[in-house]
């Protein structure tokens, strides 16, 4: 899996689980509206709205983007390490019981582990946290990418939704170019079987597409989908902008509020490689129905 090139100091912290000196990081007192992403793999980790001043010497957040951060007990059992859920890079530690915010949680994060990405249209970091970015819906078709088990079944449920212009199955999220089905199945490239949906945003919303995604597979299964077990069958969503990221975060929050332990990964958009032609519209070509994708109403 290919990651960003790190400096020796970044590698010491991210790879070798080091800690930067207190009050030395660029984001300790930084104020800006945007998203903090993993410095190693660019996966979105924290929203600026969840950053707060704890006076501890490191950037502090009282919440993470759903599914973005994993908690791992330190070997000595005294603390809980936090790592990027996508690449495993060390972020810092998480603490509870300090009563610093209403969420009673503090993610103590190394500045060297993260990068700040400002919201589009906001260039002045002194804007208040209540500032909003105006968005204008585009008349052009838009794209969404979903991974949730065998891509044949995913495509079956999306291809006839009103407003969906087209669908393609393929591979996303790994390393190397133009992976083949055999390479993906061998787990040598890290790609996930992925559905690309092209849609008209005036006829169907991204949120409605995302709701369908969460209802046609089991977002609580961490090793695949049903009988399809393996890395290429993991539940994941590849987001292309802040709007998509926020929608997915909201929906995961709703599902978790209903008691579902959602393990769906949220990953930044990468290159989508179309699968071989015989995979495209598989069930439509064969007149069959998917055996492992059955819609379950969750919203």
Structure confidence at residue 120 as a pLDDT band (50, 70, 90): low
Catalytic one of 38, 41, 84, 108: 108
The verdict on pTM exceeding 0.75 is no
Q: What is the pLDDT of residue 76?
A: 74
Q: What is the pLDDT of residue 223?
A: 93
Q: Is 108 a catalytic residue?
A: yes
287 pLDDT above the threshold of 90: no
Is 87 annotated as catalytic?
no
Third-level CATH fold of 8-118:
2.170.150
- For the segment 155-178, what is each residue's pLDDT rounded down to a tens digit? 999 988 888 888 999 999 999 999
Q: What percent of the chain has pLDDT over 90?
A: 67
Of the candidates 38, 41, 84, 150, the residue annotated as catalytic is 150
Average pLDDT over residues 40-52: 90
- Under the banding of pLDDT at 50, 70 and 90, the label for residue 49 is confident
Question: What pLDDT is attached to residue 138?
Answer: 41
Residue 288 confidence (pLDDT)? 81
Provide the mean pLDDT of the chain.
88
Who has greater pLDDT, 286 or 245? 245
Tell me which fold the domain 142-286 belongs to: 3.30.1060
For 193, the token pair is 């079987």
pLDDT of residue 104: 92
Q: Delimit the domains of the chain by residue range.
A: 8-118, 142-286
Concatenating the DSSP letter of every residue in the chain gives -------HHHHHHHTT---PPTT-STTSS---SEEEEETTT--EEEEGGGEE--SSSS-EES---TTSEEEEE-TTSSSEEEEETTT--EEEEEEESS-SSTT-EEEEE-GGGEEEEEPTT---TTS-TT--------SS-EEEEEEES-HHHHHHHHTTSTTEEEEEEEEESSSSSS--HHHHHTTSS--EEEEEEEE-TTTS-HHHHHHHHHHSS-TT-SSEETTEESGGG-EEEEE-SHHHHHHHHHHHHHHHHTT-----EEEE----EEPPGGGTTHHHHHT---SS-------
Question: pLDDT tens digits for 244-263?
Answer: 999 999 999 999 999 999 99
Question: Mind listing the pLDDT tens digit for each residue in 220-246?
Answer: 999 999 889 999 999 999 999 889 999
* pLDDT exceeds 70 at position 131: no
């Amino acid at each position: 899996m290919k990651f960003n090139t790190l400096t020796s100091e970044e590698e010491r912290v991210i790879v070798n689980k080091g800690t930067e000196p207190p009050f030395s990081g660029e984001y300790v007192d930084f104020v800006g509206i945007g998203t903090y992403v993993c410095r190693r793999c660019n996966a979105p980790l924290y929203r600026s709205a969840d950053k707060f001043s704890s006076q501890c010497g490191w950037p502090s957040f009282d919440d993470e983007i759903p599914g973005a951060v994993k908690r791992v007990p330190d070997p000595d059992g005294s603390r809980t390490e936090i790592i990027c859920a996508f690449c495993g890079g060390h972020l810092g530690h998480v603490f509870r019981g300090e009563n610093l915010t209403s969420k009673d949680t503090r993610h103590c994060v190394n500045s060297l582990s993260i990068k700040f990405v400002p919201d589009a249209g906001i260039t002045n970091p002194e804007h208040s946290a209540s500032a909003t970015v105006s968005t204008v819906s585009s008349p052009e078709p838009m794209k969404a990418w979903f991974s949730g088990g065998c891509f044949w079944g995913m495509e079956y449920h999306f291809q006839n939704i009103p407003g969906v212009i087209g669908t393609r199955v393929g591979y996303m999220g790994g390393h190397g170019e133009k992976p083949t089905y055999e390479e993906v199945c061998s787990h040598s490239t890290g790609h996930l079987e992925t559905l690309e949906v092209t849609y008209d945003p005036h006829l169907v919303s991204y949120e409605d597409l995302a709701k369908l995604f969460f209802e046609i597979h089991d977002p609580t299964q961490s090793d695949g989908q049903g009988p399809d077990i393996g890395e290429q069958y993991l539940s994941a969503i590849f987001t292309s902008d802040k709007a998509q990221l926020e929608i997915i975060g909201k929906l995961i929050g709703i599902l978790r509020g209903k008691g579902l332990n959602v393990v769906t990964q949220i990953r930044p958009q990468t290159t989508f490689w179309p699968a071989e032609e015989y995979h495209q519209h598989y069930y439509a070509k064969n007149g069959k129905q998917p055996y492992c994708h059955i819609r379950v109403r969750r919203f």
